[in-house]
Each structure stands twice: as structure tokens, then as C-alpha cells.
Chains A and B, each alone.
Chain A
């Protein structure tokens, strides 16, 4: 029973981590708390659902389509909303408020296009198979979620450490002005980051909708709150933090349900989060007194 909970927690935590990853990337590089990230997550789920239902594509192709479409939505948000605000030197809170507007627009658009009802993936979209071993039950979806999250994490961490563009991104994260003086195309990196972050959010949306088998316009809202909690817990803008924070929340929720009761799930998870922040106010990987130049 305990081992089974571990696996459930690992797959749920992986989705949270994947969602938080895009969220923390935008914050780390663009310095914006993107409250439209939950809506982008929803866009990814609908894109995959349409790809499966209308175009009858296999689920891996639907994931690719969700990646691209939600990435393009992220790109559009940067070009149409964030970039004009940057050019006008808008103070910090303004882009955040603007992304609330974007989220509302995307949610309404989804409702208008697809209705407010919860939609489901047709049966057989994901291989039904599961592994049974020693009383453990692991579904194909869970294996896919965990594997995909690990691969994406490793690629991002190595990419940021080892590649030239990774170094440039870390430079922009610390000081866009210093980066520009080094000949780094800061606006270009903002665009790329917006695309990748939203694309990861969209993929997380597909994964959770497969996991829970539910797609609905406001599905990003609870996720957004969890995402904020995860990146605050992990340390704002830190990728390892998003991973650890996401896993923590997944474990807290699953074990709260298993040993305390499902109604207490969020209360226990967020209560623990609060306790950790009391001990480490800057998050697990955040440094004290960090200020952006």
C-alpha cells in the first residue's frame, strides 16, 4: 500500500513539477509572475483532445501538437502583452495583472468554443496496459508522466549549465541590461523562453487531463494556485526548486488523502507548505536578500 502511494505521489508530483517548471522559467528570465500559465495549461489539454478526437491522431502526436500550440500562445502573450509593457518600462505588478486578463480571455474563449462541460478522452487513447508487480499497479500514463518529466528536467538542467544559450539565459535572468551589453539578444531570449515555458505548461495540461481524464475550461485555476505554491516553496526562478517543490506537493497531497482523508488534501498540503516557509522564507533553493539589478 505504501509503495503504491509512492508511485501515485511521484506521478502527481511530476505533473506539478512540469507545470511549475514553465512558471518558474518565466519568472526567472522575464521577471514576470505569469498568471496566464494555468490557462495555457488548459489550452494544451484542449489542443491534445482536439487532435485525438477530430484528427484521430495518436497520443504522442497530440502531445507534440499541444506543445506547439501552447508554445505559440505563450509567444503571442509575450509579443502582444508583455513586450509592449516592457518597452514602456511598466512597473513590476503591471505585467502580472495583464496576465490575469489574458487568463480570463483564454478561459472564456475555451468556454465559447468547447462549452463549459467536462470533456473526456475517448477510451483507448492511451495504452490500457499497466505493470503489476508485487501488488503494485503502475499505469502506462503514470510511466509516461514520470519518464517525460525526468527527460525534460535533465535536458533543461544540462542545457542551462553547459550550452552557450543556457549561459546567456542565466545572464539575462540575473541582469537583462548586463546581458544586452554583452551582445545577447535579450528580447529574442524572452521570446524563446515564453515559447518553451508555455509549451511545457501545455504538455503538463495534457498529462494531467490524461491522469484525471477530464478537460474543462477552468482546469488551470487550481493548478495555478499549486504552481505558485510550488515555485515559492522551491525558490522563485529555480528549476531544481520547481522539481523538488512539485514532488513535495504531490507527496503531501497523496499521503494526506491516504492517511488523513481526501477532504483534507489541500489543507494538509498547504499547511505543510506554510510551515516550511516559516523555516525557510526564501524557499528551498532561494538565496536570502536576492534583488534583481
Chain B
């Protein structure tokens, strides 16, 4: 199992501020890798840079052997890198069904799309009842489910998740993490960005800790759960 995604020397600037200061990390195929850190540490910026939505000041991103550093966003999605953005990026004026259909926008394999559609509704039965309602009328948890389901509809090779637990009730958070684990068990490679450090480390195979744009710790999820610095800074022990 080699690295499916290899990031080296990634830098992102916002004006004169270095938001991400030359970080390296890699995602192993079939694993859950997490990037945890506080608000403003550079997590979301890193994800947006991977998807080509913010300009990279330096560095390289290699996905499955192909250099995707300078590709436009839609090409990156077509290659198999799908992102569930922070705040879910709902298309509130489209129905739930239309949102899901748009997830498979670039695909032409009609039969497989239909089976993925059914699969998503199995994963998230609550969406089935709301298929023809507007996405804007869903609860926060349902919107997160729709956002994940929509990304799955692209049949990605890697799923990037930006704070899927944000603003959700504890029970819903449990449910979302259970689904993430399940998708991974089906073989999907996952890159999870979280402020909910404990939950993220619990399900992650590999983990990185980011502080003010730099990666300060890395290891397996288990190792970092017990790491004194993590315990002190993020788990409040």
C-alpha cells in the first residue's frame, strides 16, 4: 500500500500572511488520515488548496502518480478527489435529489450512478424521505449527510472531509463518524480535517497535528491520542 496522495512543501499565502507554511503529508490508500488542529491553524486552507480552490504559493500535490498541483478544481474532482467543504456547501435551492444527481455530474456510467444513488440512500435513510424537498429545508445533520452522500456520488478515490462534526448535536456527530468509518471499511481513502480531536484520532489510522500553518506532530491515531502534547493542548487533560 503506497501513498495515494503525496503533498510536499505546500505553502498558501493570504495577502502577506502565510496561512500554510510549507507542509508535507501523505495519504495511504484505504486508510483514514486526519489533520487536526485549532481554529485558524490552516486546516481548511490546506483542503481548499488540495481541491484547487485557493492558489498554492509553493509545493506539489501528486495524486496516484499524477501531478495535480496546477489543475483546475473540476479536473481534480474528475480524477477522484472529492471534498465535503466546511459548512457543507449546500445548494439550498436545489432538491435533495438534484444535489445528489449533481454529485455524479461528470459521470456517464448510468447504471453505476443508479446503484450509487441507492447505496447513498441506504447509508442515509433519512434522505430518502426528503428526496424532493429543497436541501435548504434540511436540518444541519441532514445537510451534512447530504453533503457526504453527494460527494460519494462522484465515486471518488479519496474523500476530503472538512469538519463534518461542526455545529452538530453529539448524537448526530456519533452517527457521522460511524458513517465515515463505514465508508472507509468499504475501501474509500479518507482525509478528515477536524477540531473534534478525540473523535478524529479514534477512527484515524494516520494523524497529523497542525499549528499556525505548520505540522508539529505526526503518528498513528492511537499514538497521538496518548501523546502528552495532544493531551494537554487539545484534550484538556
Contacts and interface: CB of A to CB of B under 8 A. Distances in A.
20 contacts: A164-B105, A167-B98, A167-B101, A167-B102, A170-B98, A174-B91, A177-B89, A178-B85, A180-B74, A180-B77, A181-B73, A181-B83, A181-B85, A182-B103, A183-B82, A183-B106, A183-B154, A185-B74, A186-B74, A187-B72
Interface of B: 51-53, 72-74, 77-78, 82-83, 85, 89-94, 98, 101-103, 105-106, 150, 154
B89 A178 contact: yes
B93 A177 contact: no
Interface in A157-198: 164, 167-168, 170-171, 174-175, 177-187
A180 B73 contact: yes
Given A186-B74, A187-B72, A181 B102 contact: no
Contact of B77 (A168, A170, A183): A183
A167 to B, nearest CB: 5
Q: Which 4 A-B pairs have the closest CB atoms?
A: A183-B77, A178-B89, A180-B73, A185-B74
Given A168-B105, A170-B93, A175-B89, A183 B78 contact: yes
A29 to B, nearest CB: 13
A181 B93 CA distance: 17
A226 B230 CA distance: 63
A179 B91 CA distance: 9
B167 to A, nearest CB: 16
Nearest to B77: A183
B140 to A, nearest CB: 16
A178 B91 contact: yes
B72 A182 contact: no
Nearest to A290: B93
Interface in A140-171: 164, 167-168, 170-171
Given A170-B98, A178-B91, A293-B89, 10 more contacts: A167-B98, A171-B94, A177-B53, A177-B89, A178-B89, A180-B73, A181-B85, A182-B103, A182-B154, A183-B106
Given A178-B85, A181-B53, A170 B106 contact: no
B68 to A, nearest CB: 13
Contact of A184 (B82, B92, B105): B105
Q: Report which residue of A174, A183, A185, A186 has the largest number of chain B beta carbons within 10 angstroms of its beta carbon.
A: A183
Contacts of B92: 174
Contact of B105 (A174, A177, A182): A182
User: Could you say which interface size class chain A belongs to?
Assistant: 10 to 19
Q: Report which residue of A168, A181, A293 has the largest number of chain B beta carbons within 10 angstroms of its beta carbon.
A: A181
Contacts of A180: 51-53, 73-74, 77
Given A167-B94, A177-B53, A183 B89 contact: no
Nearest to B135: A174
B93 to A, nearest CB: 6
A160 B53 CA distance: 26
A182 B153 CA distance: 10
A182 B84 CA distance: 9
Q: Report which residue of A164, A185, A187 has the largest number of chain B beta carbons within 10 angstroms of its beta carbon.
A: A185
B91 A181 contact: no
A183 B105 CA distance: 7
Interface in A218-236: none
B94 A182 contact: no
Contacts of B74: 180, 183-186
A182 B81 CA distance: 10
A187 B53 CA distance: 13
A6 to B, nearest CB: 34
A182 B77 CA distance: 7
Contacts of A174: 91-94
Contacts of B154: 182-183
Contacts of B106: 183
A34 to B, nearest CB: 22
A182 B74 CA distance: 7
A116 to B, nearest CB: 44
Contacts of A187: 72
Contacts of B103: 182
Contacts of B91: 170-171, 174-175, 178-179
Contacts of A168: 102, 105
A77 B92 CA distance: 30
A182 B151 CA distance: 7
A170 B94 contact: yes
Q: Report which residue of A171, A178, A182 has the largest number of chain B beta carbons within 10 angstroms of its beta carbon.
A: A182
A215 B90 CA distance: 46
A168 B52 CA distance: 19
B162 to A, nearest CB: 10
Interface in A57-104: none
